[in-house]
């Protein structure tokens, strides 16, 4: 692959995220940019905003795929906002446009993206995110990471393999 | 609500499902129809097909929301096939068109539908399906049921409340 | 084809339509139902509402494919409302779910449906609707009709051929 | 508006386009880039490919919104391919992501984009494209241009007004 790797960052999209999650998101975005990968996200608030902010501070490129009909509501750190008008269904476009994803905590929207990613055979690196259990067995498809560095390193390794 | 209740049935869409899952799916469909509710599903194979078959055997109505561009690939038990051409993104339309959902086992596609349902504040009744854990806590949003009767009864109670 | 024919009816979706258009819409819906075909439309107001009303008065079946996230805003003559949450992109689902279409006057939304239909090699019967010109040549793909009877007859002939 | 203007270029997406249309497309793309605007298109062949080629030769930025599930089929002149998996419904995303559009000849897909654009109150500049007639009256909403220079100039004037 000689195009730039695209890493999706998914997580809580509200501004209710905790200070540690703000820092982790920003750090993940920064390390993505430092490794010359493109950040893909949903373009709105919370984890998406701070990850995009981190990427921009490191001079990276950010794509935000919005649920809305116009690009006016993208957060200010999005270079390339894409308006869809599809509502929640835009989540699947975030997944389709990521070579690999990093999930930072997150709620049901994030879970829908994790599920779509696994369905499409894409890897999700998890930072304190959902664990999937099925009939008491833990599903191993989410690759755990403990730090932003580890998460992005694993994501890059997988995307370039 | 004086319109008919719509119950979504989600689960493994391949024909690799086990004999017990075939029976459970068919039974769920039958009981939905016997209670004068409409069955909504993805219109294809596996759990969707046997649930629709059960509903039709009991004289019910079935809606199948297909990922494809044409209605020709709906299973033969679908009364009202809806072609979307949206691929996997049709999963969210299955959820939007269900008042409540019953998940029968299932894999990642099913998980994406469960996640969308919970995001949209709809209840999912689970028959041996995914358990959601988050930081070691079990998420209680999927209401467990042990039999098709119990699952449909809980679904109807919630939809009519 | 041993399933029921589906005829899409498209036109101005606002309640600003003239009295003659109200009558034509209702008549088209009625004749569709009298011929045992299913009416497919966008489920909202204007031409869609009066066509669905006509179909219901003749005991027919009506499908309404809505732009909204919930089925609550369908007009009262829709038997099977389908919520999409896709906004204007739902127009293409109206086309995909019609074997043939009848366009009654209409504005730009109707034109988008006509264009999608022709792109998908489906026939559009036109009642005083758009004419398509390209470099001074009239495009003959919209089959003109002068009355509701003629429009539905032509639609049925094409769908069953 | 202090972000870059986005100009959508729409037209025949097959490689059957004539030599003059190849040249016009490439010229339109080049002039868009020379004016520091972003080219938005459907990312595939024909007019989209040559417009993107022209934009890249002038050092511009190109966004291609694809109907497919993966970005692998974008033409080689697309900087930012966006996979949608929505099939023809992606046409509306091309429109949503353009401040103004230039239509170069084109067939029914192009007509669907023109219709969506006019429905969304966006201007379309036409280079030998569809004329819209309604009950013998010519609709004036497509602004005619005779040369690539004139088309892009008019597009920029409208987008920045």
C139 vs D37, more confident? D37
- Under a CB-based contact definition with an 8 Å cutoff, are residues D15 and D48 in contact? no
Residue B111, pLDDT above cutoff 80: yes
For A40, the 3-state DSSP assignment is strand
pLDDT tens profile A5-57: 999 999 999 988 999 999 999 999 999 999 999 999 999 999 999 999 999 99
Mean of the pLDDT values across residues A93-115? 97
Residue D136 clears pLDDT 70, i.e. is over it: no
| Euclidean distance between CA atoms A144 and A140, whole angstroms | 9
What is the mean pLDDT of the segment spanning A104-113? 96
Does A92 sit within 8 Å of D85, measured CB to CB? yes
- Inform me whether the C-beta atom of residue B149 falls under 8 Å from chain D C-beta atoms: no
| Contact in structure between B79 and B63 (CB atoms under 8 Å) | yes
Q: How far apart are CA C152 and CA C150, in angstroms?
A: 6
The sign of the CA dihedral B156, A113, B110, C74 is positive
Closest CA to D128 of D98, D147, D105: D105
Residues 6+ apart with CB under 8 A from C149: C27, C31
A88 touches chain C (CB under 8 A): yes
Burial environment of residue C143 by CB neighbours within 10 A (0 to 12, 13 to 18, 19 or more): middle
Do the Cβ atoms of D119 and C112 come within 8 Å? yes
Tokens of A34: 């430092």
Mean of the per-residue pLDDT values of chain A? 95
List for chain C the helix, strand, coil content (%; round to 5): 40, 25, 35
Mutate to test the interface with C, among D20, D111, D126 (most CBs of C within 10 A): D111
Segment B11-59, tens digit of pLDDT: 999 988 999 999 999 999 999 999 999 999 999 999 999 999 999 999 9
What are the CA-CA distances from residue A58 to residues A41, A156, A160 (Å)? 17, 17, 21
Nearest CA to CA, how far is C57 from chain D (Å)? 30
φ/ψ bin of A103: left (φ > 0), alpha (ψ from -120 to 50), beta (otherwise): beta
Q: Is D5 left (phi over 0), alpha (psi -120 to 50) or beta?
A: beta
- The whole-angstrom separation of Cα D46 and Cα D52 is 10
Q: How confident is the model over D5-64, as pLDDT tens digits?
A: 999 999 999 988 999 999 999 999 999 999 999 999 999 999 999 999 999 999 999 999
Q: How far is CA C143 from CA C122, C137, C149, C155, D133, in A?
A: 11, 16, 14, 9, 15
pLDDT of res. B89: 95
Out of B86-100, C82-96, D134-148, least confident range: D134-148
Question: What's the rounded Cα separation, in Å, for the pair D25 and B42?
Answer: 42
Residue of B115, B122, B135 to mutate for A, most A C-beta atoms under 10 A? B115
Q: What is the mean pLDDT of residues A117-135?
A: 91
Q: What is the mean pLDDT of chain B?
A: 95
Closest CA to A14 of A40, A44, A54: A44
Contact B81, B74 (CB under 8 A): yes
The answer to whether residue D69 neighbours chain B at the CB level (below 8 Å) is: yes
Is B84 in CB contact (< 8 Å) with chain C? yes
Dihedral of CA atoms C95, C96, C97, C101 in degrees, nearest 10, equals: 30
pLDDT of the residue at B140: 75
Q: Up-side HSE of residue D74: CA atoms within 13 Å toward CB?
A: 27
The answer to whether C97 faces chain B, any CB pair under 8 Å, is yes
Regarding predicted confidence, which is higher, D90 or C1?
D90
Model pLDDT, residue B47: 98
Alpha-carbon radius of gyration of chain D: 14
d(C-alpha D9, C-alpha D47), whole Å = 8
pLDDT at A1 over 80: no
Extract the tokens encoding D92.
């509306």
D69 vs B contacts (CB less than 8 Å): 87
| Cα dihedral C9, C15, C20, C25 in deg (nearest 10) | 20
CA–CA separation, C141 vs C111, rounded Å? Answer: 13
CATH, range D6-160: 3.40.50.450
What distance in Å separates residue A5's CA from the closest CA in chain D? 12
Mean pLDDT in residue range B102-111: 96
Q: In sequence order, what are the residues at sequence separation of 6 or more whose Cβ sits closer than 8 angstroms to the Cβ of residue C55?
A: C29, C30, C32, C33, C39, C61, C62, C77
Pick the closest to residue C77 from C108, C107, C49, C106 (CA basis).
C49
Residue in this structure with the two tokens 């429109």, named with its chain if needed: D95
Phi, psi of B3, rounded to the nearest 5 degrees:
-85, 165
CB contact under 8 A, D128 and C135: yes
Which distant-in-sequence residues (6+ apart) come within 8 Å of B90 by Cβ? B42, B65, B66, B67, B84
| Cα gap B21→B14, rounded to integer Å | 12
C-alpha A65/C-alpha A39 separation (Å) is: 11
Q: Does B16 touch chain A (CB under 8 A)?
A: no
For A129, residues 6+ apart whose C-beta sits below 8 A from its C-beta are: A11, A103, A104, A105, A106, A110, A114, A142, B134
pLDDT value of position B98: 98
Contact D112 C119 (CB under 8 A): yes
A135 band by pLDDT with thresholds 50, 70 and 90: low
Q: State the pLDDT at residue A121.
A: 94
Specify the pairing of strand D38-41 against strand D6-11.
Answer: parallel
Burial of D25 (0-12, 13-18, 19+ CB in 10 A): buried
């Amino acid at each position: 692959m000689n195009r730039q790797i695209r890493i999706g960052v998914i997580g809580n999209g509200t501004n209710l995220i905790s200070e540690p999650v703000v820092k982790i998101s920003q750090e993940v975005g920064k390390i993505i940019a430092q490794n010359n990968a493109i950040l893909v996200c949903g373009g709105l608030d919370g984890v998406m905003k701070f990850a995009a902010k981190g990427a921009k501070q490191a001079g990276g490129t950010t794509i935000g795929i919005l649920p809305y009909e116009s690009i006016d509501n993208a957060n200010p750190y999005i270079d390339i906002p894409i308006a869809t008008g599809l509502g929640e269904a835009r989540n699947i476009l975030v997944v389709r446009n990521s070579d690999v994803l990093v999930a930072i905590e997150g709620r049901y929207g994030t879970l829908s993206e994790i599920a779509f990613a696994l369905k499409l055979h894409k890897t999700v690196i998890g930072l304190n995110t959902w664990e999937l259990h099925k009939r008491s067995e833990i599903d191993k498809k989410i690759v755990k990471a403990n730090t932003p560095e580890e998460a992005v390193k694993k994501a890059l390794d997988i995307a370039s393999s």
